[in-house]
Amino acid sequence: MRKIIHCDCDCFYAAVEMRDNPALADIPIAIGGSVERRGVVSTCNYPAREYGIHSAMPTAQAFKRCPHLTLIRGDMPKYRAVAQEVFAIYRDVTERIEPLSLDEAYLDVTGVSAHQGSATRMAQAIRARVAREVGITVSAGVAPNKFLAKIASDWHKPDGLCVVPPDAIDEFVRALPVNKIHGVGPRTGEKLRALGIDTCTDVRKRTLPELAEHFGSFGKRLYELSWGIDERPVKTRRERKSVSTEQTYPRDLPTLAACHGELPTLIEDLQRRYRRLDPPPGVRGAMVKIKFNDFTQTTVEHAGAVMEDAPFAALLDAGWQRGRRPVRLLGVGYRLVDPAPEAQLSLF
């Protein structure tokens, strides 16, 4: 049985800013783009969350909820440097680390002998070192698999530790709301509620064929997770599946023609980002993302080889027809070829 720790830095960008300027600690702050540039909140501290502010919220809406909010422009080089300090502490415990972002990661500590082999003590030691040496807090979840560890890390936030031992899995999962399951978004959540499914116990009452009928291949995933089953290993190397760029405009692009006028700049930036990959993998598709001025959004994709910027104009045309209204954000991207496809098996 695996021993997995999920570590998640609490309100990471905001925590770094509060560390560097203690005067910010007790007032609502947010990291994000300005109202004038129609920015969004990247993260915010807990005083700001009391006003209902959250990540991905438009900055203008955040100021409506909290007029005295302090907005800070993000400093990514500083945040990356702090993340490197945190991950160095993780690596003192185990090399089997799967980063999810700058501020969170899975650690597989199965078989690690430090701290008498106790994953709980390892998590306690990690959190203490990060607080002492880096000056921010980390919440951690300890469990036999990734699904449970990630949920557990959020259980006692901020600066919390939650442990789900093997003999407590059933009790922990039974009452778990299904919206805690990764992959259950608003639409899937609505379908589940319409079926009278609110908790993992409710999922367990349905048969696997019934769940597959309503949710396709995700039905099997729902069924397994409702029993606390997750066999995914911690992946120490994450292969990039796509590269993209997007732009939120200070003023809405009023027409399809105006959108086409912005496309060359986006494609140029995308190609520049692609060339920075080392080595650049093959491209197996293209995509265009559109967010309209009513905040609805759509993504249109082309599967197959991409010659320069050929498919993007057609994808933009198709996507714009879905909303036919002013556009606040445009994005373009490539889907990338798996750099390590399965080898062809011999016939003999």
The answer to whether residue 91 scores a pLDDT higher than 70 is: yes
Does domain 1-164 match CATH 3.30.70.270? Answer: yes
The answer to whether residue 168 scores a pLDDT higher than 70 is: yes
- Percent of the chain past pLDDT 70, that is, above it, reads 96
Task: Answer yes or no: is 20 a known binding residue.
Answer: no
Confidence of residue 339 (pLDDT cuts 50, 70, 90): low
Burial label, 278 (beta-carbon count in 10 A; 0-12, 13-18, 19+):
exposed
Contacts of 95-102 spanning 24+ positions with Cβ under 8 A: 95/236, 96/234, 96/236, 97/234, 97/236, 98/234, 98/235, 98/236, 98/238, 99/238, 102/12
Least confident of 19-23, 274-278, 289-293: 274-278
Per-residue tokens: 245:
């760029």
Q: What is the pLDDT of residue 77?
A: 94
Average the pLDDT over 52-56 and give the result: 92
Average the pLDDT over 218-247 and give the result: 89
Average the pLDDT over 323-329 and give the result: 94
Per residue in 104-152, pLDDT tens? 999 999 999 999 999 999 999 999 999 999 999 999 999 999 999 999 9
The answer to whether residue 208 scores a pLDDT higher than 50 is: yes
Residues 51, 52, 57, 58, Cα dihedral to 10°: -40
Confidence of residue 348 (pLDDT cuts 50, 70, 90): very low
Q: What is the pLDDT of residue 343?
A: 42
Could you identify the residue written with the tokens 């979840």?
Answer: 141
Q: What is the pLDDT of residue 307?
A: 65
Q: What is the pLDDT of residue 6?
A: 98
Q: Which of 36, 50, 104, 224 is catalytic?
A: 104
Average the pLDDT over 26-49 and give the result: 91
Least confident of 93-102, 257-266, 296-305: 296-305
The answer to whether residue 340 scores a pLDDT higher than 60 is: no
Per domain, the residue ranges of the chain are 1-164, 170-226, 242-336
What is the CATH code for 170-226? 1.10.150.20
Query: In sequence order, what are the beta bridge partners of 161?
Result: 140
Per-residue tokens: 150:
């990630």
Catalytic status, residue 104: yes
Could you identify the residue written with the tokens 């407590």?
Answer: 168
Task: Answer yes or no: is 26 a known binding residue.
Answer: no
Determine the 3-state secondary structure of 196 from DSSP: coil
Q: What are phi and psi of 40, to 5 degrees?
A: -125, 160
Please indicate whether residue 306 or residue 347 has the higher confidence score (pLDDT). 306
What is the β-pairing status of strands 70-72 and 29-32? parallel
Query: In sequence order, what are the beta bridge partners of 118?
Result: none
Q: What is the pLDDT of residue 275?
A: 87
Average the pLDDT over 288-315 and give the result: 86
Confidence of residue 304 (pLDDT cuts 50, 70, 90): confident
Q: What is the pLDDT of residue 345?
A: 42
Q: What is the mean pLDDT of the chain?
A: 91
Architecture label for domain 242-336: 2-Layer Sandwich (3.30)
Average the pLDDT over 314-330 and give the result: 94
Per residue in 34-45, pLDDT tens? 877 778 899 999
